[in-house]
Amino acid sequence: MIANRFCIFLMICLMAYPFIQTNYAQEPEKRDVNSRVSASGSAQNPSPFDFTTIVQGGIFRNFAGGLRTGNDYMGRVHLIISLDTKKAGLWKNGKLLVNGVNAHGGNPTSTYIGDFQPISRNEAAPERTGLFELWYQHHFGKVSITVGLHDMNSALGLSEYGGNSINSAFGMNPSITPNVGNAFSIFPRTMPGVYLQANALKIGKNLLNIKAAVYAGFASSVEDDPYNIQWDMDGSTHSRLEIQYVQMKGELQRGIIKAGVMYHSGNFANVTDTQQTVEGNLGYYLIADQLIFPEDTKTNQGLGLFLQVATAPGNQNLIDLFYAFGINYKGIFPKREQDILFLGFLNSMMNDNLVATGFEKNRSLIELNYALRLGEYFTIQPDLQYIINPGAQPQLEDALMGLLRFSINFY
């Protein structure tokens, strides 16, 4: 069944290829579904429509530790179409986007590892085919507003360097833990919301960006709403405010600092007594990316560092404090300017009340991968992860696993 669904979607992707236009303004490695910031309406594409197809998959192997050794596969396919309202002869400064997704494959985190956060951002259980994004965006100069079904992780709470990892914790820190139906608007299931951003406000030679969003905070199960077309607009909400300070060198970004606050208004289960609930959930985070050794003055090739810190105190959360750091080297080898080497470390410090019941205090991860660009559309990314204290469960041995991820982006 998994193979059949994947083959059908791959055939659709290949059929769509002749209609794809190369018109993303960003660098090729950022055309990743985990950190996509779409840009339609380039001068080279007179059509009002942009088509994008993203195919990602990963072969997984747990070599040792965790629950048990074994192999698995997980993947997803996105079919994206956007409409530029000006080119369509309607009005200026508008964009409509529809993003459909098929997520397929196994669930290796719970099957082989026993951790509390997916070892890959392609992992989604159960399998699903449905709507991932459906939004309208309008620009008012440097200010824009986006309304609809929106992937929060494409705009908020993401380290650009940390986003080159495969483990999901580098992409969305686990300090606030969704439970009892409360959720965030991220893969594999997004929710409707309103996203406001004010970009490129000048501070000397540098820039200030301000972003704010409010999303529905409760998601129905896949069984109740398999296609993600029934949305709860009357329940809890999840809100974020993020301020970004961008260091510029001419026209190039050399560094960015992001400070954010997040609040979820839902009722959360007490993690040590599920019969009790805690109203609301508040958290804070700080993210920094800095290119410290650029190879030249015309590109962002070179060695970069990243840092992530997040906290969400309260007995409704598994984790009191989360931090991560690492390096990102773009073009480390001659004539391989688009390849990226990633090395990262993260640590989750567990809720002290859980530790008193027998959990380990720290759950840590070391990840190493290399994204090898093969032509304009294809990337292959071998990855190693070593998890110390999976799930903070003392009975589980440290896990060593490997993934081989491929990504095919038609744009």
Task: For residue range 213-259, list pLDDT tens digits in order.
Answer: 999 988 888 888 889 998 877 788 999 999 999 999 888 899 999 99
Domains of the chain in sequence order: 57-73+108-117+150-410 (2.40.160)
What's the pLDDT score for residue 10? 47
Residue 306 predicted with pLDDT over 90: yes
- pLDDT tens, 122-147? 998 888 999 999 999 999 999 999 99
Q: By C-alpha distance, which of 212, 211, 207, 300 is closest to 245?
A: 207
> pLDDT at position 107, please?
94
Computed over every residue of the chain, the mean pLDDT equals 87
Beta strand spans in 123-236 (E):
128-140, 143-150, 191-203, 206-216
CB-CB neighbours of 298 under 10 Å: 10
Q: Rounded to an integer, what distance in angstroms lies between the CA atom of residue 133 and that of residue 151?
A: 7
Angstrom distances, CA of residue 312 to CA of 183, 351, 355, 393: 15, 10, 16, 21
Average confidence (pLDDT) over 164-188: 80
Residue 114 has pLDDT above 50, yes or no: yes
Q: What is the pTM of this model?
A: 0.86
Confidence of residue 3 (pLDDT cuts 50, 70, 90): very low
Whether residue 181 has pLDDT greater than 70: no
Please report which confidence band the pLDDT of residue 178 belongs to, taking 50, 70 and 90 as the band edges.
low
Q: Are 113 and 401 in contact (CB under 8 A)?
A: yes
pLDDT of 99 > 80? The answer is: yes
Asked whether the beta carbons of 120 and 58 are under 8 A apart, the reply is: yes
376 pLDDT higher than 70: yes
Give me the phi and psi of 76, to 5 degrees please. -155, 155
pLDDT band with cut points at 50, 70 and 90 for residue 314: confident
Residue 162 has pLDDT above 80, yes or no: yes
Q: Residues 6-35: what's their mean pLDDT?
A: 40
CA distance 392 to 362: 6
**Residue 57 scores a pLDDT above 50:** yes
Q: So what's the pLDDT on residue 213?
A: 97
The yes-or-no verdict on residue 6 having pLDDT over 50 is no
